[in-house]
Amino acid sequence: MSKLDMLLRQVADEEDVLRSRGDTAERMASRFQRFAPGSSRRVWLWVPVAAAVAAAAAVLFLRPLFATPDLAVKIGSSARAPLVGAWLGAPDTAPLPLDFSDGSRFELKARARARVVGLERSSPRVELASGALFVHVVPGGPGTWHIDAGPFGVKVTGTRFLVSYEPESDRFEVSMEEGQVELTGCVFGKGRKLAVGQRVRASCRENKLEVSYRDLEPGAVGSASATPPAVTPESVEPARPLALEPSKGVRSAASTGKAAPAPWLALARGGKYREAYAAADQDGFESACQRSTAEELLLLADSARHARAPRQAKHALVLLRQRFGGGADAATAAFVLGRLEFDEFGAAGAAAEWFRTYLGERPSGPMAREALGRLIEAYERAGDSLRAADAARRYLRDYPTGPHAALASRLATSP
| 229-258 pLDDT per residue, tens | 333 333 334 333 333 333 333 344 444 444
Q: Which helix (H) or strand (E) holds 388?
A: helix 385-398
What does the alpha-carbon distance between residue 264 and residue 281 come to, in Å, rounded to a whole number? Answer: 9
Report yes or no on whether pTM surpasses 0.95. Answer: no
SS3 for 129?
strand
The predicted structure's pLDDT at residue 146: 92
The predicted structure's pLDDT at residue 223: 39
197 or 314: which leads in pLDDT: 314
Does the pLDDT of residue 31 top 90, yes or no?
Answer: no
Does the pLDDT of residue 177 top 70, yes or no?
Answer: yes
| 371-415 pLDDT per residue, tens | 999 999 999 999 999 999 999 999 999 988 888 888 999 998 865
Band (50; pLDDT cuts 50, 70, 90): low
Q: What is the mean pLDDT of the chain?
A: 76
Q: With b meaning 16 or more CB within 10 Å and e meaning fewer, what string describes 393-411? A: bbbbebbeebbbbebbeeb
CB 402 within 8 A of CB 371: no
SS3 for 254?
helix
